[in-house]
Amino acid sequence: MNVVITGASRGLGKAIAHVFAQNGHNLILTSRNDVALYNAMQEFMTAYPNISVKAKAFDLSIKQEAQAFGKWVLDLQVSINVLVNNAGLFDPGSVYNEPDGNLEHMMAVNLFSAYHVTRALINQMITQKSGHIFNMCSIASLKAYSNGGAYSISKYALAGFSTNLREEMKPHGIKVTAVYPGAAYTDSWVGSGVDPKRIMEAEDISRMVYTAAQLSPQACVEEIILRPQLGDL
């Protein structure tokens, strides 16, 4: 099985890549940071020598780059079994006081990247009559919170994209799952002062994604909602 993951050099994307690689699946990866991506690729190739790992850096917030990534994947001439739209970014701020352009930036990174990558790859999946698309939304897609501003708006939009895509892909045998994780400890939390035991582990989310990808063709997990045991921060 070939697994395409965006935002794969760190955080949840990297954790998801690990769980698929551990189970013998080939990886096709991208992120914006070419050095971090190269290091992640080397890590995967060393840890999992029996799988294929392909990686190339693209800035998916730019439409042409997202389309170029899709073309690069298609040029590999392999089946696309799983697509994880994980590329994302959080810029804090409230609607009334966040910097001008914050909404446009959040929409470009958190929504348009998934939209354009999916459009680039979806026809091959339709031809295959199979595939599974995971869109990494957020608890912020379901519940607005202070200082969430444009980020929450963009994640609400990504959830709407997922719901619409799910309906469109039903007749084509393609599954669509929206993932709504709460706070999970990744390197972005380092130095935050938050106790890692107060929030989830990145592996909690990656294991749920992997499990959802293993079901029979007749079953589709439409939504995965995960929160820390004690609730949101």
- Of 36, 24, 26, 41, the C-alpha closest to 187 is 36
CA dist 120 and 65 (Å) reads 11
DSSP letter for 163, please. Answer: H
| Mean pLDDT value of segment 149-159 | 96
| Mean pLDDT value of segment 68-91 | 96
Task: Label residue 4 by pLDDT band (50, 70, 90).
Answer: very high
Tokens coding 64: 């042409």
pLDDT digits 0-9 by tens, 216-230? 999 999 999 999 999
- The residues, any chain, with a CB within 8 Å of residue 218's CB and separated by 6 or more, are none
| Mean pLDDT value of segment 86-103 | 92
| Residue 171 placed within a domain | yes
The count of structural domains within the chain is 1
CA dist 202 and 15 (Å) reads 6
Does residue 167 have a pLDDT over 80?
Answer: yes
> What's the CATH number where 94 sits?
3.40.50.720
| Residue 206 placed within a domain | yes
Q: What pTM does this model have?
A: 0.95
| Mean pLDDT value of segment 124-131 | 97
Q: Coil, strand or helix: which one is 93?
A: coil
Does residue 52 have a pLDDT over 90?
Answer: yes
- pLDDT at site 57: 98
Does residue 41 have a pLDDT over 90?
Answer: yes
| Residue 231 placed within a domain | no
CA dist 66 and 83 (Å) reads 14
pLDDT digits 0-9 by tens, 170-216? 999 999 999 999 999 887 777 788 899 999 999 999 999 999 999 99
Name the residue with tokens 């608890």: 139
| Residue 233 placed within a domain | no
| Residue 117 placed within a domain | yes
- Provide the percentage of residues in the chain whose pLDDT is more than 70: 100
| Residue 122 placed within a domain | yes
Neighbours of 107 (CB within 10 A): 18
| Residue 161 placed within a domain | yes
| Mean pLDDT value of segment 32-48 | 96
Q: Coil, strand or helix: which one is 177?
A: strand
CB 88 within 8 A of CB 157: no
- pLDDT at site 64: 98
| Residue 47 placed within a domain | yes
Q: Looking at per-residue confidence, does 13 or 191 come out higher?
A: 13
Task: Label residue 145 by pLDDT band (50, 70, 90).
Answer: confident
CA dist 9 and 33 (Å) reads 8
- pLDDT at site 171: 97
| Mean pLDDT value of segment 67-77 | 98
Residue 10 structural domain: 2-226
- pLDDT at site 219: 98
